[in-house]
């Protein structure tokens, strides 16, 4: 939900939760609605606060910025603005470009699927974790304040916890080899990573 910069998904949940791209977000929306109303903060702020705190729970993640003071009202979003997994790369990049994000920034934002839970096991992490973390944070700074005037917001980043250090450098899961990785960029060789000892780990499915 961090891309929900104005909180319209909470304010207009009767409309936006019907969108396919928002499937499964009902419990999260209601939990954040309760928190926002309890503490009298804008829905847009609670979404960004929850995202920043959530990322801080992940070892090795960057400490995200949190700017407060978004408007207290919003308009319901039109359907179809969030690119879906069935869209072509060109369609996704066109939609992100329309929102002001370059292809590189779009890829940087996808690092969230390496930081958070995911369906299945992602073995395609590059070896430069610091670069990925820095690029993800920069793209999130832009995404979190999209449509807002930063000069009217208050920097409350000091309340966001500092994530623990990454427990270990990236590895190829046990039982797998480099041959099991389907490279996404033929022009750039996949980095050489050590293979973790033991069997291939089992990753539980993410509830949706």
* Residue 160 domain-assigned (yes or no): yes
Query: Mind listing the pLDDT tens digit for each residue in 64-79?
Result: 999 999 999 899 999 9
Cα(204)–Cα(208) distance, rounded to whole angstroms?
Answer: 12
Nearest-10 Cα torsion for 166, 96, 92, 114: 10
- In the chain, the number of structural domains is 1
* Residue 157 domain-assigned (yes or no): yes
The mean per-residue pLDDT over the stretch 14-42 comes to 95
* Residue 195 domain-assigned (yes or no): no
* Per-residue confidence (pLDDT) for residue 126, from 0 to 100: 52
The three-class DSSP label of residue 195 is strand
CB 48 within 8 A of CB 36: no
Say what the pTM is: 0.75
The mean per-residue pLDDT over the stretch 191-207 comes to 83
* Per-residue confidence (pLDDT) for residue 208, from 0 to 100: 57
The three-class DSSP label of residue 68 is strand
Give me the domain span that covers residue 37: 8-168
* Residue 180 domain-assigned (yes or no): no
113 is in an annotated binding site: yes
* Residue 188 domain-assigned (yes or no): no
Which of 72, 63, 1, 65 minimizes the C-alpha distance to 36?
72
Query: Mind listing the pLDDT tens digit for each residue in 107-134?
Result: 899 876 655 544 444 444 455 778 888 9
Distances (CA, A) of 99 to 40, 70, 73, 78, 142: 29, 18, 20, 14, 11
* Residue 159 domain-assigned (yes or no): yes
114 is in an annotated binding site: yes
* Residue 131 domain-assigned (yes or no): yes
What Rg, from alpha-carbon coordinates, does the chain have? 18
* Residue 41 domain-assigned (yes or no): yes
Cα(81)–Cα(9) distance, rounded to whole angstroms?
Answer: 13
| CATH code, 131 | 1.10.520.10
| Mean pLDDT estimate for the chain | 86
Nearest-10 Cα torsion for 62, 125, 187, 179: 170
* Per-residue confidence (pLDDT) for residue 207, from 0 to 100: 63
């Amino acid at each position: 939900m961090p891309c929900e910069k104005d909180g319209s998904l909470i304010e207009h949940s009767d409309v936006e939760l019907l969108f396919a791209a928002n499937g499964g977000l009902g419990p999260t929306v209601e939990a954040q609605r309760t928190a926002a109303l309890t503490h009298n903060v804008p829905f847009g702020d609670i979404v960004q606060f929850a995202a920043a705190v959530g990322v801080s729970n992940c070892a090795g993640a960057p400490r995200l910025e949190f700017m407060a003071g978004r408007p207290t009202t919003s308009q319901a979003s039109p359907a179809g603005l969030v690119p879906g997994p069935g869209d072509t790369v060109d369609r996704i990049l066109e939609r992100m470009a329309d929102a002001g994000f370059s292809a590189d920034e779009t890829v940087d934002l996808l690092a969230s699927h390496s930081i958070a839970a995911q369906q299945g096991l992602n073995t395609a992490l590059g070896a430069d974790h610091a670069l990925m973390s820095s690029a993800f944070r920069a793209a999130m700074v832009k995404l979190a304040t999209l449509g807002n005037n930063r000069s009217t917001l208050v920097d409350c980043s000091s309340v966001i916890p500092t994530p623990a250090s990454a427990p270990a450098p990236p590895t190829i899961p046990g039982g797998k080899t480099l041959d099991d990785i389907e490279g996404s960029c033929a022009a750039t060789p996949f980095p050489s990573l050590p293979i973790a000892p033991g069997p291939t780990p089992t990753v539980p499915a993410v509830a949706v």
